[in-house]
Amino acid sequence: MIIGIDLGTTNSLVAYMDGDHCRVIPGPDGRATVPSIVGFLDNGMLVGDPAREHLVRSPSRTVYSVKRFMGKALADVADELKYFPYTLQEKGGVIRIQIGDTLYSPPQVSATILKELKRRAEAHLGEDITKAVITVPAYFNDSQRQATKDAGRIAGLDVLRILNEPTAASLAYGLQQRTRGFIAVYDLGGGTFDISILKLKDGIFEVLATNGNTHLGGDDFDRRMVEVVVQDMNTRHGVRVEESQELMQTIRLEAEKTKRRLSDERQVHMAISLSDGKGIYERTWSRDEFEALIVDLVEQTMASCRLAMKDAEVEPGQIDEVVLVGGSTRIPFIHDRVRALFGKTPHCDLNPDEVVALGAAVQAGILAGDNKDMLLLDVTPLSLGIETMGGVMNAIIRRNTTIPTSAREMFTTSVEGQTSVDIHILQGERDLVKDNRSLARFQLKVPPLPAGGPRIEVTFLIDANGMLNVTAADIRTGQSQSVVVKPSYGLTDDEVENMIRESFQFAQQDVQARQVIEARVEAESIVTSTELALQRGMDLIGREEVQTIQQAVAELRAAKNQNDHRVIRSKIADVEHVTHHLAEVLMDATLKEALENKKLSEVRD
Amino acid sequence: MDASQTTDSPARDVHRDLPMASSMCWHCQSEVPGEYFCSRCVKVQPLSKELDYFTCLNLPRTLNLDDKALEETFYALSRTFHPDYFATKDESEQSISLGNTALLNAAYQTLKDPIRRVEYLIRLEAGSARTVQTSPPADLLNEILEIQEDIETLRSLSPEESSGQRQALHTKLRDDRGMLAERQARLEACLSEQCQRWDDLQADAGEDARIRAQKDEVLKDLRELLSHRTYIRNTVHDLAEIVG
């Protein structure tokens, strides 16, 4: 079985093909989405909902929105550092997240989320899972795609395909029932925006153009609200929010909640309690006010849509279907703007949180050979080029070229006896090298000949994942040479190998961490139920027994926050032991009550 | 340029039509006379590296192409070679599928765009057309230089001081744009004409020295037209930016 994974900025989920149907895989609580949050404990990691709780308790040891850092250097995220409670560093051109004394790369953190999804799939399907399709924003560059593939490897998954999210969504919609037409997929998630224009004909989904922004999404809407609240708290309550990461995270979570509610309500009241007797911060948000706050960001997405249509040579009126993807498209304002732009009511019948994972499962089915009807022809979102004299980029593969595709370039020398040529590969749409994204560098070996003598042909191949492969051959001798490409913003192979090894070591710790969480959850419910039972049965048992029970509950409560699940378990057992009698007494009382009620009802009859 | 002279061509079988890299299966060494899959071991076979884009998409080497046939052949060959259908096969087959599809995609991308199609044809038939000088005619060059100068002046004027001069320049550039657009239309018409001439020459059976000379003449004209077109387009683009 090949699974389909949506590795999102805010939420992640996994889906599979069940015969002809794609289905998402729910977790133990019945929900399919796993919040993309990883909490670091002393002895392991937490993923998803438990990690979300960890976020307010221990913000500097809880990582969220890690997707924003994939394939990036520290300088790329400089202006948003203040929003993140954890410490970021850089090593080898790759961002590292510092937790205590340890540095984690974004692919490692993503791998923990992938492992949780893999575990869910294995539990649900009852088989080992080793192969996956993972989705990425269509506008992800080569480094970001590579980082995602690395994350898969670290999680023990063979990533058969890196699939673009909007195209995945179009597969899930089963629009192939419409035999032909133009489709626009507008995908606004937690951290990224994509627009793709597709042509559909007889089961072939041909992407004509794609555009987007890998740094624009719901997170940015939250931030706008957070900024307002932070300012407000300072003027009204004299609170300096910057000094408390806990408060900052509370505000962020409240802002997100308020944003969500504003999609259904026209007005939402927000209340955040402040520490140190500073009272409660209160504010009412109107939908209009929220819309005014985000209108420029939404306009940016509209501009991308227009560019994509221009590249696709399609007019808005020609678009037959519009599909909305991503949680942020629930915002009525965005819905309205999209409808106005394309002059069409968008599809949103599938859950926008699930549709990408479902599409990944459909693609997994195609790769497995189970679906020969559909075929996806995707494009590369950015032009690929090489640096030439004077710091100018020479584009060799243009954006929106159908992939896989290749281009061949001939290289020679400019100085007699020169034995190597340096090649710098870039991605982007600008003329100057400095305005584009540096992907990688490599050195061609050339035989010492007069200037212009050597003829080395380099083939740049973009595969179906949208990822670059480079090969070179000496035209004179016909000999091919291996090219060692050094990524500008990526992990080296050795690093990834090390991380895979470490990840096996962590696996043991992760099991422990999960046991701690499960024990903690159970402890909490036992404390609550015991206290309730004690209230009801206080008069039915002796004072000494009440004290014993209270003592055991207090000990359990104290043990609950320990990191050893065995300690918690033993205290749980203690409570169960001392409440045994109380339980029996209560049971008797309940029975008696029931009998009496019965008698009463019989009397009434 | 989407003429339909080939629409009445017989329905083509896209299979087994393309030149292959070898007449022997790379895997089991049995004969594969131009087939995409070895009839014995069912492994996919690599397409010939020398394949030109027209042959690859099963089209005549003409400049007016049947767009529908182009797309149909492209889709059919994609269904034959796309890496998605080889994900569970061994590495060699995956790599052949990748190579074949990359070639196919490059061919489709080039031929579906009428201008890139002409550029490609010129490159393919290069021989004698390569030596042609392609500077624009003197009158066009002068016109463009003058416009560029006016654009620079307009950009350098501050809005408060010189509203009269700005207005005048603005109007002039607007007129220039109109003229240039007309010129562009004339040029596109010439381009179509030359494309048709090429196709007519291609339609003639055989190729003697006289026809070859005429073809070279057409290629030379096409090359010049393309170069002028680039000049005009860039200037029209600059004008659109400044006068809207």
Q: Are A119 and A507 in contact (CB under 8 A)?
A: no
Is A165 annotated in the active site?
yes
Beta bridge partners of residue A565, listed in sequence order: none
Return all residues near A586 (Cβ < 8 A) that are at least 6 apart: A533, A536, A537, A540
**CB-CB neighbors (< 8 A) of B103 in chain A:** 406
The CA-to-CA distance between both ends of chain A, in Å, stands at: 62
Strands A280-286 and A267-273: antiparallel
Phi/psi of residue A404, each to 5°? -70, 150
Residues A204 and A313 in one domain: yes
Of residues A164, A176, A49, A38, the one with CA closest to residue A97 = A38
Residues A404 and A526 in one domain: no
Look at residue A311 in the predicted model and tell me its pLDDT: 94
Do B83 and A404 make contact, defined as CB atoms within 8 angstroms? yes
Beta bridge partners of residue A273, listed in sequence order: A280
Residue A219: left (phi > 0), alpha (psi -120 to 50), or beta? alpha
- Return the number of other C-beta atoms located less than 10 Å from residue B222's C-beta: 24
Residues A26 and A85 in one domain: yes
- Distance (Å) from the C-alpha of residue A71 to the closest C-alpha of chain B? 25
ipTM above 0.95, yes or no: no
Residues A18 and A81 in one domain: yes
- Distance (Å) from the C-alpha of residue A397 to the closest C-alpha of chain B? 10
**CB-CB neighbors (< 8 A) of A363 in chain B:** 84
Residues A263 and A124 in one domain: no
In terms of Cβ atoms closer than 10 Å to its own Cβ (0-12, 13-18, 19+), residue A511 is: exposed
Last residue of a domain, one of A272, A293, A314: A293
Residues A299 and A277 in one domain: no
Do A366 and B79 make contact, defined as CB atoms within 8 angstroms? no
- Matching residue, tokens 């003429």: B3
Return all residues near A451 (Cβ < 8 A) that are at least 6 apart: A412, A413, A414, A415, A416, A418
Residues A366 and A515 in one domain: no
Domain extent for A228 = 218-293
- Distance (Å) from the C-alpha of residue B213 to the closest C-alpha of chain A? 30
Third-level CATH fold of B1-124: Helix Hairpins (1.10.287)
Look at residue A466 in the predicted model and tell me its pLDDT: 92
Taken in order A142, A144, A146, A149, is the CA torsion positive or negative?
Answer: negative
Query: Testing the interface with A: which of B105, B113, B116 to mutate, by most A Cβ within 10 A?
Result: B105
**CB-CB neighbors (< 8 A) of A204 in chain B:** 75, 78-79
DSSP-derived secondary structure for B177-233:
HHHHHHHHHHHHHHHHHHHHHHHHHHHSSS--HHHHHHHHHHHHHHHHHHHHHHHHH
- SS3 for B51? coil
- Distance (Å) from the C-alpha of residue B114 to the closest C-alpha of chain A? 14
- Return the number of other C-beta atoms located less than 10 Å from residue A126's C-beta: 7
Phi/psi of residue A161, each to 5°? -155, 135
CB pairs under 8 A between A and B: 59
Residues A298 and A359 in one domain: yes
CA pair distance A212, A373, nearest whole angstrom: 29
Q: What does the pLDDT profile of chain B (244 residues) look like in tens digits?
A: 333 333 333 333 444 567 777 777 887 777 777 677 777 777 888 887 778 899 889 888 999 999 999 999 999 999 999 999 999 899 999 999 999 999 999 999 999 999 999 999 998 887 654 555 566 677 778 888 888 888 888 777 776 666 777 788 888 888 888 888 888 899 999 999 999 999 988 887 677 888 888 888 899 889 888 888 888 888 888 887 777 6
Beta bridge partners of residue A196, listed in sequence order: A185, A210
> Domain with A566 in it: what CATH number?
1.20.1270.10
Is A199 annotated in the active site?
no
Of residues A74, A72, A66, the one with CA closest to residue A36 = A66
Residues of chain A with pLDDT under 50: 605
**What is the domain partition of chain B in residue ranges?**
1-124, 137-243
Do A375 and B88 make contact, defined as CB atoms within 8 angstroms? no
Rg over alpha carbons for chain B, rounded to the nearest Å, is 24
CA pair distance A509, A85, nearest whole angstrom: 24
Of residues A491, A471, A493, A496, the one with CA closest to residue A482 = A471
Distances in Å between the Cα of A308 and the Cα atoms of A128, A208, A427 are: 41, 8, 18
Is A67 annotated in the active site?
yes
- Helix ranges (H only) for A17-65 are 49-57
**CB-CB neighbors (< 8 A) of B113 in chain A:** none
- Return the number of other C-beta atoms located less than 10 Å from residue A587's C-beta: 10
Q: Are A379 and A401 in contact (CB under 8 A)?
A: yes
Look at residue A176 in the predicted model and tell me its pLDDT: 54
Look at residue A159 in the predicted model and tell me its pLDDT: 96
User: ω before A346 within 30° of 0 (cis)?
Assistant: no
- Return the number of other C-beta atoms located less than 10 Å from residue A457's C-beta: 14
- Helix ranges (H only) for A102-173 are 106-125, 142-154, 165-172
Amino acid, single-letter form, for residue B5: Q
The CA-to-CA distance between both ends of chain B, in Å, stands at: 29
Specify the number of domains making up chain A.
Answer: 4
- SS3 for A451? coil
> Domain with A442 in it: what CATH number?
2.60.34.10
Do A405 and B84 make contact, defined as CB atoms within 8 angstroms? no
Residues A484 and A499 in one domain: no
Reported as a single tens digit per residue, the pLDDT across A222-237 is 999 999 999 999 998 8
Last residue of a domain, one of A472, A490, A508: A490
In terms of Cβ atoms closer than 10 Å to its own Cβ (0-12, 13-18, 19+), residue B195 is: buried
Q: Are A119 and A18 in contact (CB under 8 A)?
A: no
Do A376 and B102 make contact, defined as CB atoms within 8 angstroms? no
- SS3 for A502? helix
Is A571 annotated in the active site?
no
Residues A97 and A35 in one domain: yes
Residues A206 and A184 in one domain: yes
